[in-house]
Structure 1
Amino acid sequence: MKVSKIRGWYLVALASSLSLVLATLVHQAPYVARIVPLRSWHFSSHKSWKTEGKDELLQTVSYRGWDVRLAIINSYPAHDEVFNALIYTFGSIPGVRLELFLETLRFGSQDIIDDFQLNLDMANNSQPQMFMAGNATAPDIIVSSTCEVDSRTMHQQFDKLLERNQTYLFCVVHHADHWLLNDNIANSSLIKTWINSGKMAFVTLSNHTSQFLENQVIPTWALSSQIVPKLRVFPPIFPTWPKVQEETLSFALQGNYEPSRRDYNGIFEHLSMFLRDSDTNVTLRLVGSGVRPEVPAQLQQHVVFDQALNYPEFYDTLALCFAMLPGFASDTYYDRKASSTIPASVIAGVPVVGPQRLLETYTYLDRDDIWLQNEGETDIDVIGRVLKLDPEIREAKKQRVVAASRRLMQANKVSARQWILDALGTLGHDAS
């Protein structure tokens, strides 16, 4: 599909979603096929194609007339969707000079980031081992996108930053329970020193993981009563251009095929019961990787495996569907872990099926952004109910999710800009 057509579709979708809003007053990446060498990048931010008008988020951030030097690091080959969202959000703030340090850009992330239309300036090298090499100038701010790993694999570079005392650290937490006192991360003198310096904030991917960190984890650290670690919340959302427009009678479950992550047996059982009483030719798309779960014989014609997809293909495939299932295999995704399915649904513009508890956990979602699962219903019951709706109603719901995506991306940029100002203030800079 030509870009003009895609953008035309987006404008139509935007108009539809805005009309709905006015009428009502109204966070594991997929595992896919290939890895490409990283292009070494420095970014100089400018107005991106997802931002219109002169509002707060477009005000330039600077101090003493200088750009803010902000480095994003990922020394661990995972969590690509979080890294992409961090690039988009911080890179969209004028006055921020963005530097990236990672081993590779995987699975078509290069194409995703290219579409952000940030103003690229090619640099010499951006491998993690080059960060703070020699007499390199320390950045004003560092964002560690997988802090559980970066704080150990890049210990020496983090130590050097502490010694220079010129940098603020945003530490992105993926598994809050990994930071309990008996874990090596929490016992790390490095992290404790950063906390004690006051030049650090933890960033979680959902409000519930932030609450778990605050209420269940931090009290185990035995910090001084004068030390209160700062917590920030960042739903990992970024823009994509979907290449599909027509809905299919399919719904999706994404992620690694490990049964410890998704309740495949329960979903297959409920889907079998539904199809016994229905002649609907509905398809469940399992979008992910790993060892495929065994599909019962009666479902062979209704289950499709989508594997070896790069990121653009992944979001295009999800966009074909009218719903996504969380399929949580445990309650940990409701109290300490942030599911990748929730932000994936928002990025793809596809409503997720979930109970009221999902809204209470992933508080960046509104009631109209999901297919609400009533008490006593299974997720497949909701699929059956949604299938009875007119296609126009299902499409309207998807456009609400598109609107939610835009709302969250703008909120992220406004928040990130304020985080930068707060960080610079902590460093003693008179920023504006």
Structure 2
Amino acid sequence: MAGLPTLTSHQNRVLRLSFFSLGSLVILYVLFTLTSSSPTPEAAVPSSPHSSTSWSSAGSLLGFPPTPYPVWGLGEGGLMATDKGGINYHAGTGEYRWSEDHPWMKGKEHRRVMVASHFTAHEDVYMSLVHTLSSLLPSPKNVRVYAAEFRWGFADIVEQIGLYPGKTYHDPATLAGDLAKTDLFGAVKGDVGKKADMVVLGTCEIDMEHFSEDLFKQYLARPADDKFTLVCIVHNAFAVEWLIKYGADWVKEGALRIMPISDHVKRAFLYHFDLWADTADTHQVGYEYVPVHVHIPVLPLKLPTKPAKNEMLTNAVIQGSFDPNRRDFEGVFQDLIEELDADPRPWGYHPLSSTTSPTTYLPIKDDPSIPPFYLHLAGNGDITVPEKLAHIVKVHVGLSYPDFFALMSSMDVALLAFSASQKGGYFEVQASSSVAMAVMCEVPLLTTHHIRKVYTYTSSPSITLLRPSYLREIAALKVLRSGVWSPPSLPSSEDGRIASVPPGVEGEIEEMIRLGWKRTEESWRVYQKGLSERNREVGRRLLAGM
């Protein structure tokens, strides 16, 4: 989100571990295994902050009867249903944890939900889930939010779109105590005198340290027929130690659900869970049974009326942190400068001139057929823009949520510009907010096959733009802006054959040109409706105890 405040050192450790890749995690795991103690006849469960734990469900994780609900998978083709029980494994998303025969699927209905976070960010993520659950519960007031005051006008967004009908925000410090109360949910007759039966934490990588011990005491204090479920929203799988330190007790009780915000982060957690299930110290905890549900954090924004678009692509945006370890601004700047140095006119700029502008490209203002191209950077941090691009790159920092959403929705296209050092993270273990923000603000996202495979909810050509990886982002923008492309002139190879672009590239570029860069309001309405239904189905299953 644009304009994020300076994070504490602990928050930075959790959220900005950009030096790791999935391979690094495997190496760390091997080192951990080699240095761990020898297995004992009994389960060597790691030391837990929930001391002297009494497992009320120990030994009874298996054997629950199948639920009457159909099996659902959320593949690239959208929602898929089958009435078949047993294993329902999707190679891409690991949906076997939604099987009817899953041992935790008791079918217990959840009606009274508390959503909380100690962290002062990610409000757009967990409030998106609040919106989904509120629309499914007997009363929207059956959701209570425990959070500090929202930053930068986000409360105005919540009010504007009716995101939280409960309206009152509660002190996170009162969450555990409120779990013992029976007078908090009275909007529906059937909930009078009953306690909350589900707790959602907005950033479990941080929140579990603050909440888990007190929440688990409340869990153990309840009788077996009055337990509650803990749902952990997770943002990355870089730091997962908290799931062993704070999560083992919840897993052994069958009371934990994990909720990533993208399918590829889900796959990373499934990998860890399966790994821990085969590890001597954790094999008797039950990690392989933890259900993992993906909820895409897209808010139903009321976007301002968009001005009529130019015929030529004019405004592109890169949203997110200005940290060079996250996004390749230097590479984007260099590619843009090379294009301008070769011929600035297609971009709407005059050539450099020793008399008028020797170091900076100036826009052409007297030819409306070639509007100047602008690259907007919306985020936080420090960034140095090359002098040549001083009139082309527009930097936006410290925006309120309303201003940020207005800026984003006015853009023609959004770029991801992931840095080489971070691609492993954003493609394997961490979800980029830039993807959800583009979808939320209805800005066509410039994608590749790889991006669409990872962020599966971007696979629809009706709302995204597909470029072959052969074209870097700036080169693709030039093609989309001009509507033309010619294969490069390549020298003949030594054996006399004429070198060419790889097979398939020309066809994909021609298709990119044919589809153009504009997307219709109707295509967005259809897409948003489908995404909302996907999220609602996840919410239904969560509330049904799955």
Q: TM-score scaled by structure 2? A: 0.61
Rounded to whole Å, the distance in 2 between the matches of 1:261 and 1:251 is 18
Match of 2:404, as an amino acid?
A: F
Q: Supply the distance in 1 between the matched residues of 2:327 and 2:466 (Cα, whole angstroms).
A: 19
Give the structure with the larger strand fraction: 1
1:223 is the counterpart of 2:283: yes
Partners of 1:175 and 1:337 within 8 A in 2: yes
Contact 1:73–1:100 (CA under 8 A) maintained in structure 2: yes
Alignment pair present for 1:206 and 2:329 = no
Q: What is the CA distance between 1:404 and its match in structure 2?
A: 2.2
Coordinate RMSD, CA, aligned? 2.5
Equivalent residues of 1:208, 1:362 under 8 A apart: yes
The answer to whether the 8 Å contact 1:346/1:404 transfers is no
1:415 match: 538
Alpha carbons 1:208, 1:336 under 8 Å: kept: yes
User: Is 1:374 matched up with 2:468?
Assistant: yes
Contact kept? 1:288, 1:307, Cα under 8 Å: yes
User: Partner of 1:268 in structure 2?
Assistant: 333
Counterpart amino acid of residue 71 in structure 1: M
Matches of 1:391 and 1:408 in 2, distance apart? 26
Q: Is the 8 A contact 1:169 1:199 kept in 2?
A: yes
CA 1:33/1:177 → structure 2, altered by over 3 Å: closer, same or farther? closer
Q: Larger % of helix: which?
A: 1
Write the deviation string for residues 230-287 of structure 1: whole angstroms up to 9, x where unpaired: 1111111111122241236110001111111111101101111222324221000000
Q: Report which structure shows greater RCO (CA 8 Å, sep ≥6).
A: 1
The answer for the alignment partner of 1:46 in structure 2 is: none
* Secondary structure at 1:240 match in 2: coil
* Partner SS state of residue 304, structure 1: strand
Letter in 2 for 1:287: A
Summarize the Cα distance change of 1:324–1:240 in structure 2 as closer, same or farther, 3 Å threshold. same
Paired residues of 1:177 and 1:213 also in contact (CA < 8 A)? no
Distance in 1 separating the partners of 2:458 and 2:292: 20
- Whether the 8 Å contact between 1:202 and 1:231 is mirrored in structure 2 is yes
List structure 1 runs of 4+ shifted beyond 6 angstroms: none
Structural mapping, 1:264-343, within 5 Å: 264-276=329-341, 277-279=343-345, 280=347, 281-291=372-382, 293-329=383-419, 330-331=422-423, 332-343=425-436
**Aligned residue identity for 2:410:** L
Residues 13-92 of structure 1: pairs in structure 2 closer than 5 A: 29-31=1-3, 68-92=111-135
Match runs of 1:64-143 below 5 Å: 68-96=111-139, 97-117=142-162, 120-121=165-166, 123=168, 126-133=170-177, 135-137=180-182, 138-143=195-200
Name the counterpart of 2:9: none
Offset at 1:103?
1.3
Q: Deviations over 1:374-399 (max 9, x none)?
A: 13100111111221359995333575
Contact kept? 2:234, 2:259, Cα under 8 Å: yes
Aligned partner letter, 2:381: G
Question: CA separation in 1, counterparts of 2:255 and 2:480?
Answer: 49
2-side partners of 1:399 and 1:299: how far apart?
A: 36
- Sequence identity (%): 21
- Alignment equivalent of 2:526, drawn from 397, 403, 408: 403
Q: CA deviation at 1:318?
A: 0.9
1:153 pairs, out of 210, 221, 227, with 210
Q: What is the rounded CA distance, in whole Å, between the counterparts of 2:535 and 2:432 in structure 1? A: 18
Query: Are the aligned partners of 2:442 and 2:524 in contact in 1 as well (CA < 8 Å)?
Result: yes
- The question of whether the paired residues in 2 share the 8 Å contact of 1:32 and 1:310 is answered with no
Give the Cα separation in 2 of the matches to 1:286 and 1:262: 11
Counterpart secondary structure, 1:178: coil
Q: Counterparts of 1:156-167 in structure 2 under 5 Å?
A: 156-163=213-220, 164=222, 166-167=227-228
Distance 1:265 1:347, change over 3 A: same
Once residues 346 and 78 of structure 1 are traced to their aligned partners in structure 2, the CA distance between those partners, rounded to angstroms, is 20
- Normalising by structure 1, what TM-score? 0.77
Q: Which residue of structure 2 lines up, in the alignment, with residue 194 of structure 1?
A: 250
Pair 194,383 (structure 1): closer, same or farther in 2 beyond 3 Å: same
Counterpart secondary structure, 2:119: coil
User: Match for 2:477 among 383, 389, 401?
Assistant: 383
Total equivalences in the alignment: 357
- In 2: Cα distance, 1:338 partner to 1:129 partner: 28
Query: After alignment, is 146-155 or 406-415 more displaced?
Result: 406-415
Query: Contact 2:110/2:543 (CA < 8 Å) preserved in 1?
Result: no
Q: Distance in 1 between matches of 2:112 and 2:408?
A: 36
Match of 1:349 in 2: 442
Q: Residues of 2 paired with 1:98 and 1:343: CA distance?
A: 24
Residue-by-residue CA offset, 1:54-104 (whole Å, 9 max, x unaligned): xxxxxxxxxxxx981111111101112202211221122241511000112
Name the structure 2 match of 1:394. Answer: 517
1:113 counterpart letter in structure 2: V
Q: Looking at CA atoms only, which structure, 1 or 2, has the larger radius of gyration?
A: 2
- Paired residues of 2:252 and 2:285 also in contact (CA < 8 A): no
1:50 is aligned to: none
Following superposition, the deviation at residue 313 of structure 1 comes to 1.2
Q: Does the CA-based 8 Å contact 1:244-1:319 persist in structure 2? A: no
**Structure 2 match to 1:364:** 457
Q: Whole-Å Cα distance in 1 between the matches of residues 159 and 416 of structure 2? A: 29
Structure 2: gaps spanning 5 or more residues: 7-108, 183-194, 348-371, 484-512
Deviation at 1:209, TM superposition (A): 0.7
